[in-house]
Structure 1
Amino acid sequence: MPETQKSAAPASRSAASAVANRLHPLTILQQVISSLPALGVLLLPFLTTGADLEAWGNLVPAVAYGVIALPLFVVRYLRFRYWITSSEIVIHSGVFKRQHRSIPVERVQNVQIIHPFLPRLLGMAKVKVETAGGGSTEGTLEYVSTAEAERIRAAVRAFQRERAAAPAAEASAREEEAAEAEHAEASREETALREETLYDMSLRRVVLSGAFRFSLALLAVIFGGLQYAGFDDPRELAPYFEGGPLRALAEGARASPVFAAALTVAVVCLLGWVTGIVLNVNRYYGFRLWREEGDAGDAGSGPNGSPNGSAKLHYRRGLLTVSEGTIPLAKVQAVLLRTNPLMRLFGWFALKVQTMGVEGTNQQTVVPFARRGEVLALAQRIRPLDVPEAFSPVSRLTIRRATIRYTWALAALVATAGFLGGWLLAGTRLFWHGAYWGLLAWPLAPGWAWLRYRCMGYALTSEGLLVQRGVLRQRTWLLPTDRQQVFYATASLFQRRLGLKTLYLDTAGASGGTAAPEVIDLPAGEADHRLRQLYDRFQKHFAIDD
């Protein structure tokens, strides 16, 4: 069998001689139970259509599952090994393609412990190891016992503190193995003394935060099931409600297609709102955020001389799946405040941070839902943050540019609807003239462009640059001076004709995309001046540090 090796550093001798650890034995049972829904889908035609020839054909994949998948679960479990030493985490895995992975302890940024519902019932947890600068999880242990997961995280933290204080000489495998348990126990005691709870989210707030969110997850399942059951028209469900308290609604839906459409929209909105609450409760139930200070002897300090160099934020959240994670404050690259028009109306905000080496978008939620004052106070524990009451505006010409773009987009939609309608509805006619009614939406273009302008702005503070953007998803970024990496101003062909530029600052871990912290459509002279000003501040900051 082919064998590959992925290693961030050469494997140490201690790892080779240490006793190998296996995953929890019930991992096999968990994998079997998790695969049962897919097996049920394979068997459903056989169970519902009877024992005809076609049904027996549907049974073949289920037999293949038992012959191939079940033994594969066992072999995969037997071939998985991992070691935790004072210098690295070593993982050996793979059946057909062997993979040896070595993760240096000093590069580990986050050891996340996740407790999905079924593994939690079986006393197991998933451990995800994330490193600084990595765009995805470097190592996953799926699953180990809950006590083993806590031991792994405590051991990694203890070894990191030990290596940060003074490089330790190589020890024998037996000495390392004995030291692991001692370090883990000492870490638990020290952590309890240094922990400071920053935010506890009550159940009332968890439910309330869900009320400001809308999800289509449950709707997709419901309508998918209705399609599978043969209900293509919502009015076909009316007979099932004629004998109950919803009889009047059922009769109205059968009598009027317009009423049926309005009722469908209302039900969709209600289910989307309820689904948002349920999913939010499942995700943030029991949310707790606490701060752990670094050891007094730890080397390094945080930005601007703050004691954040070795301090970390820890969080725990979840109902069916309980997640625990760590955010090293020294790795925070930017601070992000998020809200939406409805949340802002009632004074609610969320706080996120952008870090290096986190899987996905490199953004982690610090506070999912809190009052503006609470969010700003907690942000001060991460970075000095001074949010002004008013931001400097961009050029009003951005309204004109956005209106033109929205007009062209609306025209393209009307043209597409007209040609498709002419082909599908009007038979031989080239264009469906009913599409012209879509042009009545044009007044929304300048209105939305004006709202977009009102939500855009920037501010220069002693800490860095603040950028504000977004109408439905309103974001405010803080880009600290000491975290800025690339400075540039760009101008498209249309911006050059109007004397405009876009100012952009890049930081480590930035994901870019449509929600990037750009100052769009500044007057060209102002953009160039701000660019020089930001770069001078950056050079002066590091000149002082040197």
Structure 2
Amino acid sequence: MNRLHPFSAFTYAIQYGLLWLWIPVFLVIGLAGVFEPVSMAWLPFGALLGFLLGAAYGVVYYYRFGYAVTPDTFDVASGVFARRSREIPYRRIQNVDVRQGVFQRLLGLAVVTIETAGGGSSEAALSFVSKSEADRLQHQIRRRTAQVNGRSETPSTEPTEGEAPRERAESGEPTEPSEVDAEAEREAPSESSESEVPAPTEPDEAGRPPAERRPAPSTDRRPEPQRKRLFALESRELLLYSLTTLRPAAIAAVGFVFFLATDSILEVLLTISQPFGGPEDLATGDAQSYGVLTVVSAINGIVITYLVSVAYTFATYYDFQLGRVGDDFVYERGLLQRYSGSIPVEKVQSVTVTDNPLQRAIEYAGLWVETAGYGPDSSGGSQSAVPLARTAHVHRFTETLTGVETPKFESPPPLARRRYLVRYSLIAAVVVGIVFAIAHVTPLERWYLAAIVFAAVPPAAHLRYVHLGYYVGEDHLVIRRGFWRRRTTVIPYYRIQTVTTRRSIFQRRLGLASLVVDTASSRTFFWATPTIYDVDLEDARDTHRTGRKRLQSALRERARADDVGFSVDFT
């Protein structure tokens, strides 16, 4: 078993020391109110004793933690009092993620997390190992996973920067001796590592015959296959992506800060709103001044949330690079926190092209892949393959990646647009009703001005309708939905888990239905499961039957061909 970096002992000691120091503190506080001999003066000594015990536990935990790369599994053993041994089969491993913060990069350390298909969290985490050890583990586990799953671990023969000599040699064209020799030298280690080392025939320096010598232990030192770069996010695209994307995490962060410092933030908002007619304080003021305060607060909240989102997106996707090693996507990204990981092709469930109104206006889009399990982006199994690029470029990527033909979308019947008109009209009526109720308990006047929201109902219903569509192809089902964040998802038939026909009370009255297409991807929290909304009932049933038949056909074809189903050649 290998041990973590010695720095891990220090971090575990601090972590458990800070955790354990609260145990005697709570005990002293609880017992001081019950037993007279127990004094609150014992708190500092109890806290110190708890910290020392926790620090000792952290050091012992470090020495009891071990990991090993075996031929069939990645093994992790941990625990002080209760030992836990985990054997993670390579077939289940989806990603080996290497993460480095600023402080870790200065020390040459990294955190390695092992993520498995179908898991809701990381299966194992190594905090910390050296960066060279992290790269070694990532390479070895990726290679063994490829072998177990029958995938290629070498790039395709398509020429890249370093592959021109090989291409010329195989085609029979004359090559320079130095180029061929260099190519042979690069291949020599990987070829020899799979073969048996020939037994020596001469006695060694100690005079021992060959039969008495022990074979040298085998080392797994094959160099990682050449990485082919597929995409790099340029500075202009990174800035555009940051400016045109709103992160839900930014909203949560601003809300959390407001919760922690509500009084101070309200004082600042009062000061900002006063030049525009806001109240001097919350206790005094009229309806108009409170209205000004509300508007100013909302504008400031939106601006601050947007700036936080821009900064967060910029730091997250700084220097984003997507490459290929064998049949795996490999990516790197991050400014303050540097991530490195892979996306196994056989785990890809679907591919989604995303854009919002701003990105559509400048003809840009992004590409996400859904994988069968946990992903490192804190978003289930969804990972960004291309954060932002020209829409035409992203569509070419998608067609090359999935092999899908250019879809010809079918729209829901016009009856669906009438349904959206009624739905949004009801929402507008609720808004007016809420304003009317507020006007009866506050000095607010002219509540009827809220009826202006009805003007947004027709365009909202139209935009909802025109951005819906679906395409039933020979090998793929393509679903498009959404306006503010439009998503076009390409799903191979063999990845479909279930197809469910769903009908609400209103849909039954109109003869409509929705089809929910579920895959093994776990990304369902922020994005809804791909759904074909509000199609004619007969069309829904026909699509359901067609999808089921083509699913069975695709599974039979893949069983015969033993094909992973996705190509990773973007050229």
| Range into which the TM-score falls when normalised by the shorter chain | 0.7 to 0.9
* Unaligned runs of at least 5 residues, structure 1: 1-19, 40-54, 169-174, 239-248, 294-310, 427-431
Distance 1:177 1:338 in 2: 53
Letter of the 1:482 partner, please give it.
Answer: Y
- Give TM-score, length-normalised by structure 1: 0.74
Looking at structure 1, the residues matched to 436 and 296 of structure 2 have their Cα atoms a distance apart, in angstroms, of: 27
> In structure 2, what is the Cα distance between the partners aligned to 1:399 and 1:421?
33
The residue that corresponds to 1:48 in the other structure is: none
- Secondary structure of residue in 2 paired with 1:133: coil
Asked whether the 8 Å contact 2:331–2:340 carries over to 1, the reply is yes
TM-aligned CA deviation for residue 201 of structure 1: 1.1
Tell whether 2:413 aligns with 1:383: no
Quick one: which of 236, 239, 259 aligns to 1:207? 239
Alpha-carbon contact 2:373-2:522 (below 8 Å) kept: no
Contact 2:517 2:529 in 1 (8 A): no
Deviations 1:397-450 (A, max 9, x none): 222333333344445555566667767x48xxxxx9976654442343343222
Moved more, 23-32 or 254-263: 254-263
The answer to whether residue 544 in structure 2 is matched with residue 531 in structure 1 is yes
Matched, 1:281 2:333: no
Q: Is 1:314 paired with 2:299?
A: no
**Contact 1:415 1:435 (8 Å CA) reproduced:** no
Matched-pair contact (CA < 8 Å) for 1:207–1:280: no
Indicate if the aligned counterparts of 2:13 and 2:59 stay in contact, CA closer than 8 A: no
How many residue pairs align between the two structures? 465
Q: Where do 5+ consecutive residues of structure 2 fail to align? A: 21-39, 152-193, 195-213, 280-287, 561-571
1:284–1:35 Cα change, 3 Å: farther
Q: Which of residues 187, 192, 196 in structure 1 aligns to 2:223?
A: 187
In structure 2, the partner of 1:299 is: none
Q: In the aligned structure 2, how far is the partner of 1:335 from the partner of 1:253?
A: 51
Name which of 25, 29, 32 aligns with 2:6.
25
- Once residues 463 and 124 of structure 2 are traced to their aligned partners in structure 1, the CA distance between those partners, rounded to angstroms, is 45
Distance 1:62 1:445 in 2: 62
User: What SS class does the counterpart of residue 121 from structure 2 fall into?
Assistant: coil
- Indicate yes or no: 2:391 matched with 1:372: yes
CA deviation after TM superposition for structure 1 residue 205, in Å: 1.9
| Distance in 1 (alpha carbons) for counterparts of 2:18 and 2:483 | 41
Distance in 1 (CA, whole Å) between partners of 2:517 and 2:386 is 25
Structure 1 contact 235–254 (Cα < 8 Å) conserved? no
Q: Which amino acid aligns with 2:140?
A: A
Question: CA distance change for structure 1 residues 252 and 64 in 2, over 3 Å: closer, same or farther?
Answer: farther
Alpha-carbon contact 2:353-2:368 (below 8 Å) kept: yes
Aligned 1:74-153 pairs, distance under 5 A: 74-95=59-80, 97-153=82-138
CA deviation profile, 1:370-408 (whole Å, cap 9, x unmatched) = 1112212322442113333x5210122222333333344
Q: What is the SS of the residue equivalent to 1:232? A: helix
Aligned match of 2:323: 290
1:318-357: per-residue Cα shift (whole Å, max 9, x none)?
Answer: 0110011111112211110001011111111110111113
Q: Secondary structure at the match of 2:229?
A: strand
Q: What is the aligned counterpart of 2:535 among 519, 522, 528?
A: 522
Q: Which TM-score applies when normalising by structure 2?
A: 0.71
Amino acid at match of 1:199: F
Larger deviation, residues 444-453 vs 69-78: 69-78
Say which is worse superposed, 390-399 or 60-69, in terms of deviation: 60-69
SS in 2 for 1:199: strand
Deviation at 1:291, TM superposition (A): 1.0
Provide closer, same or farther for how the CA distance between residues 422 and 140 of structure 1 changes in structure 2, counting only shifts above 3 A: farther
Give the direction of change, closer, same or farther, for the CA distance of 1:223–1:534 in structure 2 (3 Å limit): closer
For the Cα contact (< 8 Å) 2:17–2:50, is it kept in 1? no
The answer as to whether partners of 1:26 and 1:122 remain within 8 angstroms in 2 is no
> How many percent identity over aligned positions?
28
Moved more, 23-32 or 455-464: 23-32
Shift of 1:24: 1.8
Give me the CA root mean square deviation: 3.8
C-alpha spacing 1:162/1:479, structure 2 compared with 1 (3 Å): closer
1:232 and 2:269 are equivalent in the alignment: no
Report the secondary structure of 1:527's partner residue. helix
